[in-house]
Amino acid sequence: MNKSISGYNIFIVIFIALLFLLFSVTGGSPARPGSGSIKRVVSLSSSLTDQVNDLGAADMLTGVTMFNPGYRGNAVVVGSYVRPDMERIIALRPDIVLVSDEDSIQNSGPALYFGLRFFRSGRVFNFDDICRGYMQLAGILGRGEYGEQRVELYRQRLELVKRPLRAPRVVFLVSVKPLITASGSSYINSIIESAGGINVFKNEKSAYPILGLESLLLADPDAVITMMEGDRDFLVTRLKDYSRVRFIRNNNIFSSGDGSIPYYTPGRYVEAVETISLLFAGIKYE
């Protein structure tokens, strides 16, 4: 029994190695608008899954990663964007695999090695970047005209956002353990500016720099916004002994929630700007 199992395992290893060699030679290829009929899509990015869903093409999705807001389909979960299950992906026989540079990993590598056609979304820094990638995907999926209509709708909504007369100086925290903010190299900075605010740490070199508590206090922002509600409560407790600091004294610590900001799609961007704008209206000044 043990010998049979061992022999079977060796066969599987050899078989996978041969597949790897075969597809490494053939390589993958980037998809382009009009480059072929797309019916089966695997998305290795929650944001790209949300874009497919928003384009009315959710029925094309056969494989997705975990945590996909708004998607209620029956696609197979193929792991996370950090650790995609290539065996499961290949078994789904996708026409295209969607990957993204914004998700902090060069996760188109497996698609290249196994000869799968892929669409790779680049880094995004603002609303126009997001819309550009959205429209590229729309063209590949045969949803170009519908995509244009959606983008125009989102642009109109963005114009209607009420911006404060006084631009608040804010710190946005994507994490409080440790303290991690968003700089000008992040699309979150653009969300803050679209809502009429000023990002205190805009000029930091990395997209998501780690802050020391002293740096946060000395920055003297008008307000601090956390992404998670629980993070807000934790921060309020942590800062209770620093009541002389203006934003703490004025109770200007808010939470945006994580329903929109983590997902770089045109619709989620507008939702995030609308949410941040409402928070700005609640800032108390001395």
Same domain as 173, residue 66: no
- 226 or 37, higher pLDDT: 226
Q: Are 267 and 53 in contact (CB under 8 A)?
A: no
Q: Are strands 179-181 and 210-211 parallel, antiparallel or unpaired?
A: antiparallel
Domain boundary among 95, 124, 153: 124
Q: Which residues pair with 173 in a beta bridge?
A: 181, 226
* Residue 150 counted as domain residue: no
Band (103; pLDDT cuts 50, 70, 90): confident
Q: At 158, which amino acid appears? A: L
Packing angle, helices 127-140 and 266-281, rounded to 10: 160
Domain boundary among 102, 124, 146: 124
Q: Are 254 and 282 in contact (CB under 8 A)?
A: yes
Contacts with 265 (C-beta within 8 Å, 6 or more apart), sequence order: 47, 50, 51, 54, 130, 134
Same domain as 88, residue 15: yes
Same domain as 180, residue 75: no
Range 160-167, long-range pairs (CB < 8 A, 24+ positions): 161/194, 161/195, 161/196, 161/270, 161/273, 161/274, 161/277, 162/277, 162/281, 163/195, 163/196, 163/277, 163/280, 164/196, 164/197, 164/277, 164/280, 164/281, 164/283, 166/285, 167/196, 167/197, 167/198
106-132 tens-digit pLDDT:
444 555 556 788 899 999 999 999 999
Question: 12: how many CB neighbours lie within 10 A of its CB?
Answer: 10
Residue 252: CATH number of its domain = 3.40.50.1980
Same domain as 183, residue 118: no
* Residue 144 counted as domain residue: no
Mean pLDDT on 188-213: 97
Q: Are strands 179-181 and 169-176 parallel, antiparallel or unpaired?
A: antiparallel
> Both tokens of residue 35?
């480059």
- 185 or 21, higher pLDDT: 185
By residue range, what is the domain housing residue 185?
A: 161-281
Q: How many whole angstroms separate alpha carbon 284 and alpha carbon 107?
A: 44
Same domain as 207, residue 115: no
Same domain as 112, residue 188: no
- 110 or 170, higher pLDDT: 170
Contacts with 144 (C-beta within 8 Å, 6 or more apart), sequence order: 33, 135, 138
Q: At 279, which amino acid appears? A: L
Number of domains, the chain: 2
56-82 tens-digit pLDDT:
999 999 999 988 888 888 999 998 877
Mean pLDDT on 204-216: 95
